[in-house]
Structure 1
């Protein structure tokens, strides 16, 4: 593979090597040979060296004298890093990874909704309403639908006014994007807009119990849609149905 200009040589090298590690093409304990990577990717020593530095900061690799550069054990990886989450979900994520994401969402989002219902400001409500309006108006524009869905959940977490909780958006976003990529080829998925509206009404009313119930209903619906697609043959590895059409639904 030869890297081409676009994202930048350094960024593309990080992406390519990182994806190989996450996919297991280069398993933990294996050695990385910079000279081979230079030849395979068609880049300079400087580009590979900088890419290795970034990957080391994410906990993926380590360099030692006499041992060279090796892939670190998965337990050492910074799994909450936004790039790692994206790489894990970019190609056939494992069932275990999907379950982990679902469990984290089930822990984080109800708690965020409860706090949002008691702490939200007028500005927070406006942001949630705008995201919901964008979801409703996205029509068949899959990209617009997904981005609006992400904006809704991001605004909900922000309404909790907890800086650390807001940072969990990287996990929520990964879960949403992966779920959408898998189910967007399904011919029949549930309409989640009513549940999103119910959640907005609960937050507007300052009712934390109703907000939690709405989030839990939304997450249950999302899990059921995902399970229905995975149990059938409605979409292939790339989320395309029999006709090749691509469709994404909010969750």
Structure 2
């Protein structure tokens, strides 16, 4: 699942208000005034009303008579919603958010690799090969590398042929996208193509243990690269997200 920001006034309103809530501009429990949003965003009452309805469906807002529209507690947010994951990742992500994503990847991807080694089809292998070739062709193009990396890991989960596991791609994508944006944007990363190749070879050979081991190596390499870049950026006081990938 590739997520893209929605277009049009309604989509832009959802994006802007959603990002503000995720950033903490409006603390949980605070009352928000739709009329103010109309003036700030320069949109109609109808656009704001529909945007608030969408955000309410994601667990961010609730509207009650006499209380108005309030920000719900974080515990009520649909944190696995693809938009919420994207908004959290596209703002300056906290170390806690990055750690949570890494832990989920460490739970999901080894299992996905094990099942993929047992259930992959020729089409699955072709999808993984094409993604790996795109990674190699990307060279120093950070955006192209990010998209190719995402495609590889989506193909890996799809190769497990478990519909629920495949739906976890929204979390895997969020983790990969924010990590790749930081690491590849900083031009400081290890060559991950050989380890991706090892993973593909293991899946193609039906070697579940080797596939799990390759995933473990990938995750360790990803963690080391991210830690190195974060350390440099924290020391320099630079923005940890140099550029958002569309």
Q: TM-score range by the shorter chain?
A: over 0.9
1:239 is displaced (CA, Å) by: 4.1
Identify the residue that residue 124 of structure 2 maps to in structure 1: 124
Answering whether residue 106 of structure 2 is matched by residue 106 of structure 1, we say yes
Q: Which runs of 5+ in 2 are unaligned?
A: 1-5
Aligned to 2:148: 148
Quote the offset at 1:181 in angstroms: 1.7
Does 2:37 align with 1:37? yes
Q: For residues 1-251 of structure 1, what are the structure 2 equivalents within 5 Å?
A: 7-233=7-233, 236-237=238-239, 239-240=241-242
| Alpha-carbon distance between aligned partners in 2 of 1:185 and 1:45, rounded to the nearest angstrom | 39
Moved more, 54-63 or 138-147: 138-147
- The structure 1 segments of at least 4 consecutive aligned residues displaced by more than 6 Å after TM superposition are none
Relative to 1, partners in 2 of residues 1:188 and 1:235: Cα closer, same or farther, differing over 3 Å?
farther
Question: What RMSD over aligned residues (CA atoms) do the two structures have, in Å?
Answer: 1.6
TM-superposed CA distance for 1:139, in Å, is 1.9
Whether the aligned pair in 2 keeps the contact of 1:183 and 1:235 (CA below 8 Å) is no
Q: Which runs of 5+ in 1 are unaligned?
A: 1-5, 241-245
Greater share of helix residues, 1 or 2?
2
Decide whether the 8 Å contact of 1:183 with 1:239 is kept in 2.
no
CA contact (8 A) 2:92 2:241 kept: no
Structure 1 position 7, deviation (Å): 2.1
Question: Does the Cα contact within 8 Å between 1:181 and 1:238 map onto a contact in 2?
Answer: no
Structure 1 pair 178/43, CA: closer, same or farther in 2 (3 Å)? Answer: same
Deviation at 1:136, TM superposition (A): 0.7
Q: Distance in 1 between matches of 2:67 and 2:23?
A: 23
Decide which moves more: 230-239 or 86-95.
Answer: 230-239
1:138 CA displacement: 1.2
- Pairwise CA distance, 1:207: 0.3
User: What is the number of residues matched between the two proteins?
Assistant: 237
Distance 1:238 1:97 in 2: 13
Return the offset for 1:161. 0.1
User: How many Å apart are 1:238 and its aligned residue?
Assistant: 5.3
Deviation at 1:142, TM superposition (A): 1.8
**In 1, Cα distance between equivalents of 2:45 and 2:241:** 37
- State the SS of the aligned residue for 1:232: helix
Q: Distance in 2 between matches of 1:166 and 1:57?
A: 23
Structure 2 length-normalised TM: 0.93
Tell me the distance in 1 between the aligned counterparts of 2:191 and 2:237: 18
